[in-house]
A and B are shown apart, each in its own frame.
Chain A
Amino acid sequence: MLAATVRVTRDIDAAEECAQEAYARALTDWTINGVPQKPGGWLTTVARRLAIDQMRRHATHERLVPLLVADADDQTEVTNTDDVGDDRLRLIFTCCHPALDLESQIALTLRFVCGLTTAEVARAFLIKESAMAARLTRAKKKIAISRIPYHVPSATELPDRIDTVLDVVHLVFTTGHTAPSGSSLVRDDLTSRALQLARMLRDLLADDSGVAGLLALILLSDARRNARTSDNGSLVLLEDQDRTKWDHASIREGIGLVRESLTRRPPTRFALMAAVAAVHAEAPSFSETDWGEIVSIYDLLLLTWPSPVVALNRAVAVGFAQGPLAGLSALDDLSGDPFLAHYTYYESARADFLYRLGQREQAIASYELALHLTDNTVEREFLQRRIAAFAADSAELGASWKNSH
């Protein structure tokens, strides 16, 4: 409904006011006349009419404040409320326009597509509400002044623009999946929003294999949610997770989507990432994981999306497929990468392989480096536990590792 009204006002604030007014009118109107057959449609129509009235009143400002007045063709479809889906899509593409900086894209999407309050969006970014309000105001100003259009991009622009939207949704998910700082590992509020956005995109862009891939990735990663932390909130590695705690309905749905998204050539980045998650999901236990398959998926992924993190994940998979020595050598090949030099997982992966090779002291040194690189309490506690265990040469931890490999 907000989306449909923005199309008329071209101004998100004005649209919100109209939407609120429509709800207020509904309270009185529906009490007297009964609830209409399509309450959503009724609300949208009223909000858009209010918006147009308001715009006409302000028509003298038209020259000074471009875009406040709807195009003539928009006004003709005021009573047509069947295109709500299209309106939501327009709103997503406006919020995720590449002319806006990435953080603003995410903030606008959470605020106006997901309907979070400014305070909730501020919490997602771990910043003050006033700072978030200022950011949103700046972003809305840029949309109005530079006339970022409220439409679904043309066919030639569409693939790139969908990628921008997918990046935003993926970032919302990863931020929630492993919160970069704070006291809990997973922020359910953000992962659920990402899932909701991915499902919405799937409804609106059913033919897009990137969308199918992203939804699959989110489903398959989120399916492990209950097994990723122990009862006291500490991190549980994939290796040690109780696989019966995985959400098998989500896994089934995710794997179906992976199959569908991989039929497209070349496969998209998110489809390949989801394929890796699917291999894990299908393995009955960690030791029965098809690491060779995972390495070959990462090889494909490096072709479509060469990134240091993908290269790191590939090196780790090599270690599991061919042994810790091969893994360590694959990691050392990446030692010159400036991004990985400051990446927690690079050092903790090295520590892991070093330990498996019996190089205890070097393993501890690597874990200590990793510890300096993360602010997430749960991750820090995990690394500290590992260091303590290695330092004491804990027979318990060491033995359990040596037994499983």
Chain B
Amino acid sequence: MSEYLILIYQDESDPSWRDPATGEKMMKDHMAFGEKHGASLRGGNALHHTNSATSLRHDKNGKVTVTDGAFAETKEALGGYYLIEAADLDEAIAIAKDVPAALGGVEVRPIMPT
């Protein structure tokens, strides 16, 4: 078995976020996902909006610059994650297909064993 991190990327500026029903539906979908894949889930959380993000960049001289905002400015921003355990990539993809991400998509990354 391997561990995979499923990163959920969605468009934060999508107008449908303003509709409370969007949040409610997403919550329900995540509950359903949790019930279906409880056996594979090792953890997971939603993140606050990227306007709450702070980025720290190291330059070549070892100096650290702190800036406001997400590390990479992209249309779809990291909004949450699940940590799962799966036999192989196909199993991880099958689980990732069920992760609610109607306004974007997910990225699956194998976790380096410690």
Distance A149 CA – B94 CA, assembled complex (angstroms): 13
Closest chain B residue, CB of each to CB of A156: B94
- Of the candidates A63, A64, A149, A154, the one whose C-beta lies within 8 Å of that of B89 is A149
Distance A63 CA – B92 CA, assembled complex (angstroms): 19
- Residues of chain B lying within 8 A (CB to CB) of residue A146: 89, 108-110
For the complex formed, measure the closest distance between the CB of A307 and the CB atoms of chain B, giving whole angstroms. 23
Interface of chain B residues 61 through 114 with chain A (CB within 8 A): 87-94, 108-110, 113
Given A66-B2, A99-B89, A99-B93, A147 and B110 touching (CB < 8 A)?
A: yes
Distance A147 CA – B102 CA, assembled complex (angstroms): 27
Given A66-B2, A99-B93, A147 and B113 touching (CB < 8 A)?
A: no
A153 and B90 contacting across the interface, CB-CB below 8 Å? yes
A157 within 8 A of B: yes
Interface of chain B residues 28 through 80 with chain A (CB within 8 A): none
Given A66-B2, A99-B93, A149 and B88 touching (CB < 8 A)?
A: yes
B88 and A147 contacting across the interface, CB-CB below 8 Å? yes
Given A63-B113, A66-B113, A147 and B93 touching (CB < 8 A)?
A: no
A64 and B90 contacting across the interface, CB-CB below 8 Å? no
Distance A279 CA – B11 CA, assembled complex (angstroms): 48
A113 within 8 A of B: no
Closest chain A residue, CB of each to CB of B110: A146
Distance A149 CA – B110 CA, assembled complex (angstroms): 13
A102 within 8 A of B: no
> Of residues A63, A146, A157, which shows the largest number of chain B Cβ atoms within 10 Å of its Cβ?
A146
Distance A217 CA – B97 CA, assembled complex (angstroms): 33
- Residues of chain B lying within 8 A (CB to CB) of residue A151: 90
The 7 closest A-B CB pairs, nearest first, are: A149-B88, A147-B88, A146-B110, A148-B89, A146-B89, A149-B90, A147-B89
**Residues of chain A having any CB pair with chain B under 8 Å:** 63-64, 66, 97, 99, 145-149, 151, 153-154, 157
**Residues of chain B having any CB pair with chain A under 8 Å:** 2, 87-94, 108-110, 113
